[in-house]
Chain A
Amino acid sequence: MKVYAIAINTFKEVIRDKIFYSLVFFAMLLLGSSVLLSTLTLGERSKIIEDLSLSSIEIFGVIISIFVGIGLVNKELEKKTIYIIISKPIKRWQFLLGKYLGLSLVLLSYISVMTVCYMLALYMYTNKLPWQTLMAVLLIYVELLVVTASAVLFSTFSTPTLSASYALALYVIGHMTEDLRGLAAKTGQAGVKAVLKFVYYFLPNLEDFNIKARTVHAIPVPAEYILMSVSYGLMYVMAILALSVLVFQRRNFK
């Protein structure tokens, strides 16, 4: 119940934020420009609209996750409101979890609004409704949950600027871990191989959540793949949040 109260409060706080609105505005702008860009192509326009829309949903989602995510804890510290909260009978993990869930709710509403706009734009210009791309949107949401969790983790022990850099770096690395596996397969030394493999499985593999191209081309994605990816993402989120709580509990507030 306490977690719920903090989550709802965080949700309201973020929704009122100017940064959030400007980001949503730019995401919409990009989505609208996809319709314009698609007129430049030959052949099927829908592919351009779908690609650009899904990508902009993802990219702006990541920006919101990171830049709002790092502020969740820090704002409370900066405004000294954290003292009021932690003097109440609220456990620190409840506070952190509430904050995280609040932002997840914001992202859910962001992604829903964007998806509705995207589908509407597509239907208006191509008379098609590619339902299978909703699966790609679902996995984008799971990816955003992982990125948000990492932003929250970094913000529990670092300054906002550094946290944002860390979270952004993790997002970039998360899309490149496939290379680590390739490197591990190529190296001859057993020790190096073990280290590389460990790093590969330790870091989040964000490419798992990338089925955009497949759904745009209407190539069937097995339900098991989607289910496994969702559960992988949620388990990863739980691990990061557990780590965040561990760090946050040891933190002294000046």
Chain B
Amino acid sequence: MFNAQGCNFIAPGGLGKSHPYGNGEILEMRIASIFLALFIILDGALIYNSQKKIETLGSGPSGTQSLPNIPDSKYLKQISLGQNSLLADLIWLKTIQVMGDRNITRKDAEWIYHAVSTATDLDPKFYYMTELGGIYLAAVAGHHNLSIKLLKKGYENNPGLWEFPFFIGFNYFFYLKDFKQAAYYMGVGAELPKRPPYLPFLASRLYAQAGDPRYGMELTEAIYENTKNEKVREALRQRMKELQVEINLDALQNEVNAYKSRFGRYPASVRELLAGGFIKTAPVDSLGGKYLINPETGEVSNTRMARRLRIYRKGVIYPKGKER
């Protein structure tokens, strides 16, 4: 029907144009064309319906289930042909779409970790992604260990950025209640350039909270040495005095407890401790105040420091070293 090779003559009249087909053939072709067009439309509808059906049967994975499809970074690096950072972007974009899902299970969190960690390997300097992934894993997915693992990876790749140790420290402090680790990482962040001015103070406070004001003092001294701004130096000097009070308070508290175990009661003042030979000299108060001992509870305090160096949250005061 369509093979018009044999009838290569000009059609008489009709279209007014030269045409290689005869009149009957033109009609035949037109009918055939209409049928074909109808067939394509119908078939298109069928194709659309089958795809719809396949989707309901659960063809491709959706949500985090699509993330396991991301191969290991080892292999991706080999086949990326120099497009590492583009691949990282694409994985990141895919992950973000999943992050918005409402129900994130522990398994989902692991896959999100896998995806972001792979992208981090592909583009180690894409720190924004690693940071956000780390925060997300802790804050939304509640997987703090994976969050810390990812943030540590980010810090290894970008050792100059204070944000990574800061968020690692935050995880230890806020979720895991490990004040020693928290203080350590805040301290690491506090010594990095571009860190916010409050970080050294936060770190030293955390050290005091963890029961290690001496480390806090060392850290503050180191930062003091490297600080040029006189206002900050003044604040750091004040903080060092407070830390000294903290160190003295801790030492006195030990002696008060020793006093109690020997005499069965708390001393009423520092002088009693001196008289008992528990301390050789009265501690000098760097803030210019006095050390007091509550004879009822044995609690040591300082007249100049109304509140001790602790992290205070509204309504919650963490007792020293008890929460872990």
Q: Interface 1/0s, chain B 115-138, versus A by CB < 8 A?
A: 000000001011011001000000
Interface size on A, residues (CB 8 A): 27
Which residues of B in the span 67-85 have a Cβ within 8 Å of any Cβ on A?
A: 78, 80-85
A206 to B81, CA, bound (A): 9
A214 to B86, CA, bound (A): 12
Residue B96 interfacial (CB < 8 Å): yes
- Identify which of A42, A212, A214 contacts B96 (C-beta below 8 A): A42
Residue A41 interfacial (CB < 8 Å): yes
Contact B97 A212 (CB under 8 A): no
Chain B residues within 8 Å of A171, by CB: 81
Q: Which residue of B lies closest to A41 (CB)?
A: B93
Which residues of A in the span 79-94 have a Cβ within 8 Å of any Cβ on B?
A: none
- For chain B, the bracket of interface size reads 10 to 19
Contact A213 B84 (CB under 8 A): yes
Contact A176 B78 (CB under 8 A): yes
Contact B85 A179 (CB under 8 A): no
Chain B contact residues, majority secondary structure: helix
- Identify which of A42, A44, A52, A219 contacts B86 (C-beta below 8 A): A52
Residue B110 interfacial (CB < 8 Å): no
Chain A residues within 8 Å of B125, by CB: 213-214, 217, 219
Contact A212 B85 (CB under 8 A): yes
Q: Interface 1/0s, chain B 78-117, versus A by CB < 8 A?
A: 1011111110010011001100000000000000000000
Residue A74 interfacial (CB < 8 Å): no
Chain A residues within 8 Å of B84, by CB: 213
Which residues of A in the span 106-161 have a Cβ within 8 Å of any Cβ on B?
A: none
Contact B128 A179 (CB under 8 A): no
Chain A CB count within 10 A is highest, among B82, B83, B85, for B82
Given contacts A40-B96, A41-B96, A210-B82, are A52 and B128 in contact (CB under 8 A)? no
